[in-house]
Chain A
Amino acid sequence: MIYKETGQYKSSYKSDHAIFPLLQDKIAFSTLMFIAFLIIPFVINSYWEKAILVPFLIFSLAAIGLNILTGYCGQVSLGTGGFMAVGAFSTYKIMTYFPDMNIMIIILISGLITAAVGIIFGLPSLRIKGFYLAVATLASQFFLVWLFNKVPWFYNYSDTGQITVSERTMFGIPVTGAEAPSYATYLFCLVLVVLLSFAAKNLIRSKMGRSWMAIRDMDIAAEIIGVPPLKTKLSAFAISSFYIGVAGALYFAVFLGAIEVTESFDIMTISFPVLFMIIIGGLGSMLGSFLGAAFVVTLPIGLKFLMVDMVGLSAVTAKHFEITIWGLLMIVFLIVEPHGLARLWSIAKEKLRRWPFPY
């Protein structure tokens, strides 16, 4: 009874095509946006910003990107870390060459550069698929990380090989660099994430999104009914890489501030966790990308709290425990609900619809 849709009539095409057709969804979404934009910025502190909210937003963006490629277009990619590195290093290079450029524009351009790189590394997908493709995308991961690690031009010949962000402002308030206040970095990420999520949601509902799904469901059949595989696959790679590139740019410029490519964009710290986010959240679901990112970002914090503060293990042993539990949870989750958190949510909605009646 809580989630009932009876009585909500759609009398125009416009209302039929709405992203949130139900009143309940609209209310829930507006409340969420209200809290995110008007309450959290006033109560946020540095811990919440650095440990939970900003990484959550950035990884949501990366998860949306990978979900477009893997969840909607069916091309498994393990190269997320490499593409995020492209975003980060483009941001760095543009920052050094154009000191006066607005940070928002820099980040979007970095996304475009990553999209171009994504198209190049998406080319093998025209010939190979499945696990062969997954392993082939690993090539991009290793090659790109090697490139940024070994070619000094990318890190401006610094001795350590690290790249460090300099301060940039939006409306006079610094959003990057060490001086940036928590609310500013948070809001900066939030605005980008909200805008890009809406763009992604609408892209998926467009002709392009439908052709991605056709390729995913059965590529040969899709080709026969007139979906061009070349355009479709490469557009999925490009747009997915754009999102991942923007996420990488934010990860470097707003979140970490200084990075070393082999550590920050490792396959174990980025590629697999992001893949896990979209699987645990739900392949081919926007909501799933957010739920998965939230889960993956908060779980280690919760585990660490439990191990170190409650049980009193040393940090090293707790770390080992964390890895173990992490792995076991992945397995348990895949066994219990292979369709992810988004599926759990739709089951919950179904239950809420008839509650308190059993049928």
Chain B
Amino acid sequence: MSVELLNFIETVLNGLMSGVMYSLVALGFVLIFKASGVFNFAQGVFALFAALTLVGYQTGQVPFAHLINELFGTNYHNWYASMPNFLAILLTMVTMIALAWIIERLVLKHLVNQDPIILFMATIGLAFALEGVGDLMWGSDVKVLDVGIPSGGSIWLEEATIGLAAEGSDYYGMYVDVLNIWATVIAVILVVSLALFSQYTKTGRALRAVADDHQAALSVGISLRSIWILVWAISGFIAMVAGIMWGTESGVQFSLSLIALKALPVLILGGFTSIPGAIIGGLLIGVGEKLAEIYIGGYFETGALENWFAYVMALVFLLFRPQGLFGDKIIERV
């Protein structure tokens, strides 16, 4: 194989892996949008909040330590030195479920039947509030998140591919981050278990019923409120997984919440209402972005196409299919 071809394969592979990360965030959006019709802008901040909480539990930080110390002149910092990863993740899950419950109680309940734009603005408010609470609770410094997922280049893959190039060419093998491989595996497990859950359990069927038709679901006795709490909790859980992945890669800091903006083109590409759409859209965007960076980015000599390329890609796509790849067909009547 020629070096160009190998480089191309490597790019596509890396694109697919980063696409998985986008899909993870987009998945949370789609779940909430299907079940409650809310376009949840706070999904990225969910991931940030989950990651912050996880680090906080791991290192035993006292919540609101900064605030308490400033108000009362005390000097609290840590309760304990460390906590097992398993326990910390479990506790974070409980926190995210509690958060879903609080959001349903305090926000969604009061906004039933409002315009979608109002609900959307409310989730922007939620994003601000959660970000502030997260910072107040755990401090805004950049934190290192380590739950034992290995990272760095995969040496095995590098050695396995080094021989593929033609003799005499200086090819050093493919570089793929182990973390991304792990992320892919975990994402696949997550999606499969979600699919199984919604196909084969009673709650899962109720979930799909609500996604299909709110009123019909209500009339056969499904409690909308508990389903909403459940959906928001599942999204919170997915956000936690995304937060762990992105947090391990680049540290837990404010920029983590911006992955929501990365997931939006994935959403319009895949369609707001389709779970397979979110996944395939994420993969397409991931690959497209990486290929563009390498093969088109060179012509601009400015680089950093990443910020907008995904949007333009999604936009061009939308011109041909306004409902996205797998979205429900838009039928309009007067």
Contacts and interface: CB of A to CB of B under 8 A. Distances in A.
Q: Say whether A and B bind each other.
A: yes
A328 B125 contact: yes
Interface string A129-148: 01110111011001101100
B128 A327 contact: yes
Interface of A: 70, 76, 124, 127-128, 130-132, 134-136, 138-139, 142-143, 145-146, 150-151, 218, 220-221, 224, 267, 272, 275-276, 279, 283, 311-314, 316-317, 320-331, 334-335, 338
A135 B70 CA distance: 41
A257 B167 CA distance: 60
21 contacts: A127-B318, A130-B116, A134-B120, A139-B265, A142-B311, A143-B311, A275-B124, A279-B118, A323-B132, A323-B135, A324-B131, A324-B136, A325-B132, A326-B125, A327-B124, A327-B130, A331-B129, A334-B118, A334-B122, A338-B115, A338-B118
A139 to B, nearest CB: 3
Contact of B312 (A139, A312, A324): A139
A72 to B, nearest CB: 14
B117 A327 contact: no
A321 B300 CA distance: 42
A233 B109 CA distance: 35
Contact of B125 (A139, A142, A317, A334): A334
Contact of A267 (B130, B261, B312): B261
B308 A276 contact: no
B129 to A, nearest CB: 3
A131 to B, nearest CB: 5
A326 to B, nearest CB: 5
B110 A335 contact: yes
Interface in B186-244: none
B166 interface: no
Contacts, number: 147
Contacts of A139: 265, 308, 311-312, 314-315
Interface in B312-333: 312, 314-315, 318-319, 322-324, 332-333
B69 to A, nearest CB: 9
Given A131-B116, A321-B132, A335-B111, A327 B126 contact: yes
Nearest to A126: B319
B67 interface: yes
Given A138-B264, A142-B307, A330 B128 contact: yes
Contacts of B267: 135
Contacts of B132: 320-327
B1 interface: no
Given A321-B136, A338-B118, 17 more contacts: A76-B117, A124-B315, A124-B319, A127-B318, A131-B120, A135-B314, A136-B315, A139-B315, A146-B307, A220-B334, A276-B124, A317-B136, A324-B128, A329-B125, A331-B125, A331-B126, A335-B122
B272 A143 contact: no
A125 B106 CA distance: 34
Given A131-B272, A324-B129, A327-B131, A272 B124 contact: yes
